[in-house]
Structure 1
Amino acid sequence: MPQFAANLSLLFNEVPFLERFEKASQADFKAVEFLFPYAYAAEEIKTRLDQYHLKIVLHNLPPGNIETNERGIACLPNRIEEFRLGVATGIQYAKILGVQQLNCLAGIAPNDIDAKLLRQTLIANLQYAAKEFHAAGLKLLIEPINTFDIPNFFLSRTEQAIAILDEVAAPNAFLQFDIYHAQRMAGELAKTIELYLPRIAHMQLADNPGRNEPGTGEINYYFLFELIDRLQYSGWIGCEYKPLTSTEAGLSWMKRLKNDLTQ
């Protein structure tokens, strides 16, 4: 059975962020992930992880200005120094929290900057981050995000991400494969996972439409989970979905899965 991590940016969001660690533990999660830890002291988060015996498996690099809904700055040629400062901040948090991989959001492509320059900037920034991460013993991840939810997001398809990783040419740089985003942009989930599994260090899930929990939409998650097990994927799958009602009610999909696999 795959290993599932609770995404605390979306799950248990009926309580303040620092109280979600206890909720995740009570729901029998052994690991968590979240988008951005930077609004809190790393030591404060580490205390919650230790208190509830949780492993952290992922968070993102600083995305720029969160209050204006920026979604990464790695492709922006006028934000390179800020990106590098964010790399240092991400590494500092990772060392305290014990996370072994960080995701780098490419960012939204401005209409007034040439796509070639955006790509060159992204690759150069990823090469810089990969080198810094290597020195810190970390993996660097990049994630394609669908352009329906975030229009003009620069990195939107798996094949595009793989081509960029090939050019970055860093042994510690990998793909973060979000099943929901991949379904919205291209489909062909099983074949894509099978083809690129050696390049995938982390997965995330949500159903489509709605980005709710598995079983609420069109994706055959039971089939995909069996495939992922058969392919011997050893990473985590982050539950990055918006609960249709409450988080606790939505977790019935996981209980059904465990029952079905033990019968």
Structure 2
Amino acid sequence: MIRLAANLSMLFTEHDFLDRFAAAADAGFHGVEYLFPYAHAPERVAEALRDSGLEQVLFNLPPGDWEAGERGLASLPGREDEFRGSVVEALRYAEALACPRVHAMAGLLPEDADDEIREAHHATYLANLRFAASEAASAGRELLIEPINTRDMPGYFLSRQDQAVAVLESVGADNLRLQFDLYHCQIMEGDLIRHLERLLPHIGHVQIAGVPERHEPDVGEVHYPAVLKRLETLGYRGWVGCEYRPAAGTRDGLGWGKPYGLVS
């Protein structure tokens, strides 16, 4: 059975953040994810979860200076102490929110990155993920990495599925898993069903959005009913995060999710 989680950084933005939980529950969602909870005390977010009867399924580690354009710290040489602090902070929130998994964003390469710079980022990434996975394991959490397309996020260090799998194998931590975003994969590589079949043992979380505009999943070039059906028959029992930007109001566009229990 496909279980859908609302991404509250993109859905229900017509409401204040803490009010989006109730709006998501009212629309038939049973889980939520979002980019970052850190603007709110964990107790306030936990209260919103309890009041709405929702499960927290995912959020990201602190990404550095997001407003200045930073997109994660995990691969950035010289920022190791800051990354370690971000792991501690994320796990503190994960404990308060009973969240089983957190995502470590890799960060951006410099525009003029040569092979030496790329290798330095790669070595830093592996070392930081080993630390983060160990800390997450001690806290009973999974750590995720996600390839992100370089059209939406130019210069992002991790952009392809095979690159991510090689990282997983190099780190060798049982609780380090793949965050498989079908939107990003379609833009970079396509062949979604074959990717799911091959990568399922590595996948800890799935996300969806319409391609190419990143609107509702029933608009664009991907036939999500077939993809989700295949995901279900493969035996995936995790969550599917709805990380898309509604073309209009969130509820107005939820008709695509009626077969999965959503209410428009």
Of 239, 242, 245, the match for 1:242: 245
Of 157, 160, 165, the match for 1:157: 160
Q: Does structure 1 residue 142 correspond to structure 2 residue 166?
A: no
Superposition deviation, residue 257 in structure 1: 5.5
What is the CA deviation profile of residues 71-95 of structure 1, one whole-angstrom value per residue up to 9, with x for unaligned ones? 1011100111000000000010000
Q: Check whether the contact 2:3–2:260 (CA below 8 A) recurs between aligned residues.
A: no
Aligned to 2:200: 197
Aligned AA (1:144): P
What is the CA deviation profile of residues 158-179 of structure 1, one whole-angstrom value per residue up to 9, with x for unaligned ones? 1100001100111110000000
Superposition deviation, residue 150 in structure 1: 0.5
Compute the TM-score of the two structures, normalised by the length of structure 2.
0.96
Aligned to 1:68: 68
Q: Is the alpha carbon distance of 1:25 and 1:224 closer, same or farther for their aligned partners in structure 2, counting shifts above 3 Å?
A: same
What is the CA deviation profile of residues 179-232 of structure 1, one whole-angstrom value per residue up to 9, with x for unaligned ones? 000000000100000001010000000010100111110001011011011101
Aligned to 1:231: 234
Gaps in structure 1 of 5+ consecutive residues:
none
Aligned to 2:41: 41
Aligned to 1:130: 133
Aligned AA (1:8): L
Superposition deviation, residue 111 in structure 1: 3.3
Superposition deviation, residue 112 in structure 1: 5.0
SS where residue 251 of structure 1 aligns? Answer: helix
Aligned to 2:111: 111
Percent of residue pairs identical: 47
Alpha carbon RMSD of aligned pairs, Å?
Answer: 1.1
Q: Check whether the contact 2:209–2:243 (CA below 8 A) recurs between aligned residues.
A: yes
Q: Does structure 1 residue 254 correspond to structure 2 residue 257?
A: yes
SS where residue 151 of structure 1 aligns? Answer: coil
Runs of 4+ deviating beyond 2 Å: 256-259
Superposition deviation, residue 69 in structure 1: 2.7
Supply the distance in 2 between the matched residues of 1:257 and 1:15 (Cα, whole angstroms): 23
